[in-house]
Amino acid sequence: VGNQKCPFCGIASGQEQANLVYDDGRVMAFLPLQLAAYGHVLVVPKEHHETLWDLDEELLTDLMSASKTLTERFRERLGATGFNILHASGADAQQSVPHFHLHLLPRFPFDGIDAWPPLAALNVDRETLSERLRG
Ligand SMILES: [Zn+2]
């Protein structure tokens, strides 16, 4: 089952090696190849889904619940004083691996990480934009 060429499906099926830190049957978490912070993990559904648009509510709940558990471990076991959750859906959002994942980055005092770089401010008609987005 799963996408043959997908590295995360390979990890889910046990064909690819990974430093697993969490597995509840539907969601797993493991260390990425390149750690951007001490304790950086990827939280991933074991089934292949590409983006947030492709997830049902139940799986989304499982992913957030697993993320919460892991952030508790950051605090209790690593002494983290905060964390970031980073995500990209879609190639235009710089998604690298097309299998849904959340980056969890534990944060520590003076760790020197900028996980929230400044973005240029956009000048737009705020009223029109709000109208387009309102439910
Ligand atoms: Zn996959």
pTM, 2 dp = 0.94
Strands of 82-86's sheet, edge to edge?
Answer: 20-23, 27-30, 41-45, 102-107, 82-86
- Looking at 87, 99, 101, 103, which residue is catalytic? 101
CB-based contact 12:22 (threshold 8 Å): no
| pLDDT value at 111 more than 80 | yes
CA distance linking residue 72 with residue 37, whole number of Å: 16
CA distance linking residue 25 with residue 121, whole number of Å: 42
| 54 CA → ligand 1 middle, Å | 12
| Region for 80 from its dihedrals, namely left if φ exceeds 0, alpha if ψ lies in -120 to 50, beta otherwise | beta
| 8 CA → ligand 1 middle, Å | 5
Instruction: Report the mean per-residue pLDDT for the chain.
Output: 96
| 72 CA → ligand 1 middle, Å | 26
pLDDT tens track for 16-41: 999 999 999 999 999 999 999 999 99
| 22 CA → ligand 1 middle, Å | 17
Question: Is 101 a catalytic site residue?
Answer: yes
